[in-house]
Structure 1
Amino acid sequence: MKLAILSRNSKLYSTRRLVEASRDQGHSVRVLDPLRCYMRIASDGFSMRYKGKPISGYQAVIPRIGASITRYGSAVLRQFELMGTLTPNSSDAVLRARDKLRCHQLLAAERIGLPTTVFGDNPDDTHDLLSMLGAPPHVIKLNEGTQGAGVMLTEKPSASQGVIEALRGLYANFLVQEFIEEARGADLRCFVVGGRVVAAMKRQAPKGDFRSNLHRGGTAKGVSASAAEEDVAIRAARVLGLGIAGVDLIRSKRGPLVLEVNASPGLEGIEEASGVDVAGEIVTYLAERVRRKAAKRAAAR
């Protein structure tokens, strides 16, 4: 398999592990900075170049697109798709996952559990908006924040009102959610590859914080997800169209609830905590998809 990895930094742990796993399995692999890919779009076909040379012949591409380059990175990924390259996560799926509001709407439409969420635009509606959610504490999240950035906990109605007014003054898009107190600052990351959970870890927030993100000082340990938790994680990835996803769940009195679905989940924390070769699982899954596509094409001749 000839594989491309879209990543801005080839030295990042996740990118390095994917390269190592690909080479260990005998595949050809190259890391491409998506911001150095440029495209020709015409009715006679699609093409792309990288640092002055044509991009061609790649059978598969793994997107590692950060939030800061979502728009351009997804356009590059879409160009790969239009050129016939397989990807575990399509450009549209990445965009669905990156937009928290859209993601929650799609999950709720499939009756997948999630914290009750409210969203509004007009300041005149703030009081009534919060009444739809219920009494605080409230969790306020930027719509496109990552790694715990832009996530705030407010414990009084006046605090919720003040944060909302401040964010609106900055023209920020955000959601307000119920706070699941019984989770006690812990969540569960299920790593989904090809419709199955290949690894899971429980993350615990540091003392004095409610965010369990490892980048925020949280700790992690490998665990076995329950059948119900695996089912929710797999369904969430499927609804968004993701072949690879990090699904963050919270354990509540009413069962597992989806906090977030990440289309470019990091590998370092999950591999260290679980001991699972997640990068190898990803490459194996993608190589099998490439093999099936080639076999189908050969049979159609």
Structure 2
Amino acid sequence: MKLAILSRNAKLYSTRRLAEAAREQNHSLRVLDPLRCYMRIASDGFQMHYKGKTMAGYHAVIPRIGASVTRYGSAVLRQLELMDVYTPNPSDAILRARDKLRSHQMLAAQGIGLPVTVFGDNPDDTTDLLSMLGPPPHVIKLNEGTQGAGVMLTEKLSASRSVIEALRGLYAQFVVQEFIEEAKGADLRCFVIGNRVVAAMKRVAPRGDFRSNLHRGGKARGAKATVAEQEVAIRAARVLGLGVAGVDLIRAKRGPLVLEVNASPGLEGIEDASGVDVAGEIIAYVNERYRRRAAKRAVASRRG
């Protein structure tokens, strides 16, 4: 299989591990900076060039598109899809996952548990909006924040109003959620590949913080997700259309609640905590899905 990884930096742990795993499984691989990919779009076909040379012959692509380049990176990925390159995480699925409001609406519509979330635009509606949510503490999240950035905890109603007013003054998009106190600053990252949770880790927030993200100083250790937690994680990834995803759950009294579905989950923390070769699992899954798709097309072609 001729494989591409879309990544701004080939030296990043996740990109490097995927490249190592691909070569260990005897696949041809190249890491491509999505910002150096450029495309021709026409009714007579689609073309992609990379650093002055034609990109062709790739069987599959694994997107590792950072939040800062979501728009252009997803356009590059969409072009590759139109050129019949298989990807486990399609461009539209990545866009759905990156938009917290949209993803929460989609998950809730399928009956998947998540913290109660409110969203509004007009300052005149703030008081009623917060009454729909309930008493503080409240968690306020920027709509497209990552790695815990842009996530704030307000413990008083006046503080919630002040933060909301400030964010609206900056024309920021955000959601407000209930705070799940019984979780005690911990969450569960389930790494979903296809129809399986291949690894899980429990992340605990550092003293004085409520965010358990490893980039914010959180600590991680390997964990065993319950059957219910695995089912929720797999369903959440499927609803958004992701074949590979990091699904963050919080353990609440009413059951597992989805905090976020990450379309480009990091591998370092989960591999260190769980001891699982997650990179190898991803490459094996991509190869299997690509070959299954090719076999189906060969059968359809013979019948046609």
Offset at 1:227? Answer: 0.2
Partner of 1:220: 220
Q: Deviations over 1:48-90 (max 9, x none)?
A: 0000000111000000001100100000000000000000000
Code of the residue aligned with 1:189 in structure 2: it is R
Amino acid aligned to 2:182: E
Match of 2:257 in 1: 257
Amino acid at match of 1:75: A
Match of 1:30 in 2: 30
Matches within 5 A, 1:259-278: 259-278=259-278
The residue aligned with 1:244 is 244
**2:107 alignment counterpart:** 107
* Offset, 1:297: 2.5
Question: How far apart in 2 are the matches of 1:161 and 1:284?
Answer: 49
Alpha-carbon distance in structure 1 between the residues aligned to 2:88 and 2:287: 11
User: 1: CA distance between counterparts of 2:254 and 2:293?
Assistant: 41
Give the drift of 1:141.
0.2
Separation of aligned partners in 2, 1:22 and 1:105: 36
Deviations 1:95-144 (A, max 9, x none): 00000000000000000000000000000000110000000000000000
Equivalent in the alignment of 1:48: 48
Distance 1:133 1:30 in 2: 48
Alpha-carbon separation, structure 2, partners of 1:220 and 1:195: 24
Q: Which amino acid aligns with 1:125?
A: D
Gaps in structure 1 of 5+ consecutive residues: none
Distance 1:3 1:189 in 2: 27
1:232 equivalent in structure 2: 232
Q: Given residue 89 of structure 2, which amino acid in structure 1 is its aligned partner?
A: N
CA RMSD of superposed structures (Å): 0.5
In structure 2, what is the equivalent of residue 75 of structure 1? 75
What TM-score do you get using the length of structure 2 for normalisation? 0.98
Q: Which residue of 1 aligns with 2:143?
A: 143
Paired letter, 2:282? I
For 1:298, the equivalent position in structure 2 comes to 298
- Say yes or no: does 1:211 pair with 2:211: yes
- Whole-Å Cα distance in 1 between the matches of residues 212 and 52 of structure 2? 43
Q: Map 1:82-121 onto structure 2 (within 5 A).
A: 82-121=82-121
TM-superposition CA deviations, 1:186-215 (whole Å, max 9, x none) = 000000001210000000000000000000
For residues 100 and 16 of structure 1, the distance between their equivalents in structure 2, rounded to whole angstroms, comes to 28
Partner Cα separation in structure 2 for residue 106 and residue 78 of structure 1: 21
Q: Is 2:27 the counterpart of 1:19?
A: no
Q: Percent identity, aligned pairs only? A: 82
Matched residue of 2:190: which SS? Answer: strand
Q: Summarize deviations over 1:127-171 as a string: whole Å, max 9, x none.
A: 110000000000000000000000000000000000000000000
One-letter code aligned to 2:123: P
Q: How far, CA to CA, are the matches of 1:255 and 1:143 in structure 2? A: 24
Q: SS in structure 1 opposite 2:248? A: strand
- State the distance in 1 between where 2:199 and 2:149 align: 25
Amino acid in the other structure paired with 2:203: R
Quote how far apart the aligned CAs of 1:33 are: 0.2
Query: Partners in 2 of 1:36 and 1:117 — Cα distance?
Result: 38
**Which residue number corresponds to residue 66 of structure 2?**
66
Other-structure match for 2:131: 131
TM normalised by structure 1 equals 0.99
1:38 match: secondary structure: strand
Name the aligned partner's letter for residue 73 of structure 2.
G
Give the distance between the partners of 1:50 and 1:2, measured in 2 at CA. Answer: 16
Which structure 2 residue ranges, 5 or more long, are not aligned? none
Query: How far apart are 1:298 and its partner, in Å?
Result: 2.4
